[in-house]
Amino acid sequence: MFLNRIFAYLLLLTFSFQSFEVVLITVNFKINQDFFASICTNKDKPEMKCNGKCHLKKQIQQHEKEESSKDKQITEKEDQLFIQGINILKNEPPILISDKRLAYTEPLHPVQHYFDIFHPPKIKF
């Protein structure tokens, strides 16, 4: 019981991590904002008051671009499914026999092969 809860929480955390990636990028930026301000491309222009926000914007755009490419890969995938129809019975009304089994007017030749293969094993005494 306890392991089931741990497993459920781990799955929940794993699935919810995907939606919190942008939040984690922003938290990482806030923690290391001094570092990002030092590598900022706009540090020559103090009037912009960028302080590394350009780097944050690039990271979020890159993340969104990766997510959209993942979505495209998923939507472009196509599976081909081939189904061959088996016409076993025709649309003719059944005839009721005295031992309460249904019989059809057309012989069931295709079904006979299935009955030869799929049947319970015979018991020998």
CB 20 within 8 A of CB 26: no
The DSSP H or E segment spanning 74 is helix 53-76
Structural domain span for residue 34: 2-76
CB 86 within 8 A of CB 110: yes
At 123, the pLDDT band (50, 70, 90 cuts) reads confident
Determine, yes or no, domain membership for 16: yes
Q: How far apart are CA 111 and CA 22, in angstroms?
A: 59
pLDDT tens-digit map of 48-57 = 778 888 888 8
Residue with tokens 């012989």: 107
Q: Tell if the pTM clears 0.85, that is, is over it.
A: no
Determine, yes or no, domain membership for 81: no
Query: How buried is 104 (Cβ within 10 angstroms: 0-12 exposed, 13-18 middle, 19+ buried)?
Result: middle
Determine, yes or no, domain membership for 109: no
Determine, yes or no, domain membership for 108: no
Q: How far apart are CA 78 and CA 30, in angstroms?
A: 42
Determine, yes or no, domain membership for 60: yes
Determine, yes or no, domain membership for 62: yes
Q: How far apart are CA 109 and CA 90, in angstroms?
A: 12
Determine, yes or no, domain membership for 72: yes
pLDDT tens-digit map of 69-116 = 776 666 566 777 777 665 555 566 655 555 555 555 555 455 555 556
